[in-house]
Structure 1
Amino acid sequence: MKFEDIFIKEQDFANTMKGKVLPFLKDKTKEGYFENKDGLKLHYAMMVRPDEKASIVISHGYCEFTTKYSEMLYYFYQMGYSVFILDHRGHGLSDREVDGYYKIHVNSFQDYISDFNEFIEKIVRPESVTERLILFAHSMGGGIGALYLEQYPDVFKKAILSSPMIELSTGDTSKLIVKLLALLSYIPFLKKRYLPGYHDYDHTFKYPRCSALSKARYTFQYEEREREKHYRTNGCTFGWSREAFNVSKKILKNASLVKIPVIIMQAAMDTLVMPEAQNEFAKRAQNCQLKRFEGSKHEIFNATDDIIIEYYNEVFSFMQGLE
């Protein structure tokens, strides 16, 4: 099967998702929870094919959730792969370490790594048909994925890092301010408070001021957030931001420990993560290639039709050869 045979065009997206994809996913998807070492209940979803080529494990990005990846889950399954996705702690239907549904907080990025490994050991390995695991990791999930590959170099056969957060972009904020905010995060009463400029979810439809070029795909995600209150994560805490900024040095320092084939998908118009850090990671890892998508924002898989087709063809071409 060619990817183009199942690709959903922008003009058809809303009707195809509602009439075909979502009913298909409902029939094929199994959801559940497991309790991690900290006593948090973490939500996951999986679609297992008895004839799987391999199992793809998804590490999602900042403020994301399982159903944001509905289109991708559909494509991966149709192309012959089993798929597993975890709602990272503090996201989606998983437990949080702060009150409410809006804040993104974590005490340490190492907690994400621990959770992800528990997910693989408790759910993915027992449920997958083969022992062939492929990592797909986007944005914040790409930072988590890179750290995971460094600490557990033999778990995955291949890895796709899509716009990975090797280093977070600070925009116009000076390094001095960033360091000051990091120091302030150690003050106990500030740790779990919003970083300045962030706030609760306010139901704003942000297109085109968002990370997607596809209005239809952004609209689907927005409607999911409106439908489910657990999907309304909207801003980070002082504590999360400190961990996100500090993790970059660790990722680059240990990049040479990553020995499996890796491909980095880089968005030319990305304003959220630093391409320079992605380039450096690609140089330091033992077997890493980089594919740059001109004309794309951060979410390359939610760009224009031509870019999305090119993107998935790269993904499926890269994953070949494990059968």
Structure 2
Amino acid sequence: MDWTLTSEQNLASTFATEINPFWQRSVSQGEFIGKDDITVRYAYCIPETPRSTIVISSGRIESYLKYKELIFDMFNNGFAVFILDHRGQGLSGRMTHDRQHGYVADFSDYVDDLVTFVETIVKPRQQGDLQLVCHSMGGAIGALTLLRRPHLFTKAIFASPMFGIKPSLPNWLANGLIRTGLAVNRMKKKESGYFFGQTPYIAFPYSLNKLTHSKVRYALFRELYDEEQDIQLGGVTTEWLRAAHEAMNTIEDSAGGILTHSLVLSADDDTIVDNKRQRVVAKRMANATLEIIPRAYHELFTESDEIRDRSLKRMFDFLTEN
């Protein structure tokens, strides 16, 4: 099928003349109260006759504001789109003394929020099939959600899913470092603290980035986080890392129980997630197709046009095929 996608060429002016006006005109925003009274923010848009309804589970540090271009493309190609900011990041509430801590007590909290979002916000407005699109950490959250609720979504996309992270340490070493970090936090009488080597938010120059080959999309990403400082997030806490390791071990051990018809898009030059472990999990999933995207860095949805177009066209084809 012929899909209409935005281009890097003149993208800054496209934002000014098309994407931001679309956001003001067509996107609704709201919030609900998640577990432990944490405020969870969300956004959605519904075209006149949707092909289906997509729920996006985003990655670590991300906000739905970062997804404006992707949501614009999805809407213009006939998809209703719903997206939430996971607890502890984006515009949603924080759970620690430091707003920049990447923190969650347990990944099941993310799953609770996602299920609540779908049941209370999405389903009353759903048109067509309900489909899941995940990126990075959102892929781990999505996988755990599919294990808990196997029939919630008819199809799922996993873009650069976090089924393993780099550096890929042996379990004994990772667990030892995590235990040490937790002990340090206890000694400091803190409920959370950055893992060794992690820091508050840093805006790395394009030349040092390993997220995307697109200079213009990277610049727009950094400009957004400069303008909307509430969505800035620093590195991971030891508590988040412990929760992530438990989640990834559960996903790997239970991957055969993920029954939803799925497409896994694996970015071949990814340095953020562990592709070796990711692909092992993908092959264990009961009903998944693994597709490797050559030369791609981690951010498939904000990559250079050649890589992004291939990824989005494959995703849209998969979501619309019988």
Q: TM-score, normalised by structure 1?
A: 0.93
Give CA deviations for 1:190-233 in whole Å, capped at 9, x if unaligned.
65111121112244445442311111111111111111122111
User: Distance between the aligned counterparts of 1:295 and 1:197, measured in 2?
Assistant: 28
Structure 1 residues 126 and 272, CA gap change in structure 2 (3 angstroms): same
Calculate the aligned-residue CA RMSD, in Å.
1.7
Select which of 92, 95, 98 maps to 2:93. Answer: 95
Partner amino acid for 1:147? L
Give CA deviations for 1:241-292 in whole Å, capped at 9, x if unaligned.
1111222110011111211210000011111111122222222211100110
Percent same amino acid among aligned pairs? 31
Q: Which runs of 5+ in 2 are unaligned?
A: none
Partner amino acid for 2:76? Q
Match of 2:272 in 1: 272
Q: Is the 8 A contact 1:57 1:133 kept in 2?
A: yes
Q: Is the 8 A contact 2:212 2:297 kept in 1?
A: yes
Select which of 132, 135, 158 maps to 2:155. Answer: 158
The SS at the match of 2:292 is: strand
Match of 2:298 in 1: 298
Matches within 5 A, 1:230-309: 230-309=230-309
The worse-fitting range, judged by mean Cα deviation, of 194-203 and 286-295 is 194-203
User: Distance between the aligned counterparts of 1:42 and 1:233, measured in 2?
Assistant: 16
Equivalent pairs counted in the alignment come to 318
Matches within 5 A, 1:1-323: 2-3=2-3, 6-130=4-128, 132-170=129-167, 176-187=172-183, 188=186, 189=189, 192-321=192-321
User: Distance between the aligned counterparts of 2:246 and 2:34, measured in 1?
Assistant: 24
Q: Is the 8 A contact 1:184 1:238 kept in 2?
A: no
The worse-fitting range, judged by mean Cα deviation, of 93-102 and 232-241 is 93-102
User: Distance between the aligned counterparts of 1:86 and 1:9, measured in 2?
Assistant: 25
Partner amino acid for 1:249? N
The worse-fitting range, judged by mean Cα deviation, of 56-65 and 184-193 is 184-193
Partner amino acid for 2:305? D
Q: Which runs of 5+ in 1 are unaligned?
A: none
Q: Is the 8 A contact 2:88 2:94 kept in 1?
A: yes
What stretches of structure 1 move > 3 A for 4+ residues in a row? Answer: 173-177, 185-191, 202-208
The SS at the match of 2:118 is: helix
Q: Is the 8 A contact 1:134 1:159 kept in 2?
A: yes
The offset of 1:37, in angstroms, is: 2.9
The SS at the match of 1:259 is: coil
Give CA deviations for 1:73-103 in whole Å, capped at 9, x if unaligned.
0111111110000000001110010134311
The offset of 1:147, in angstroms, is: 0.8
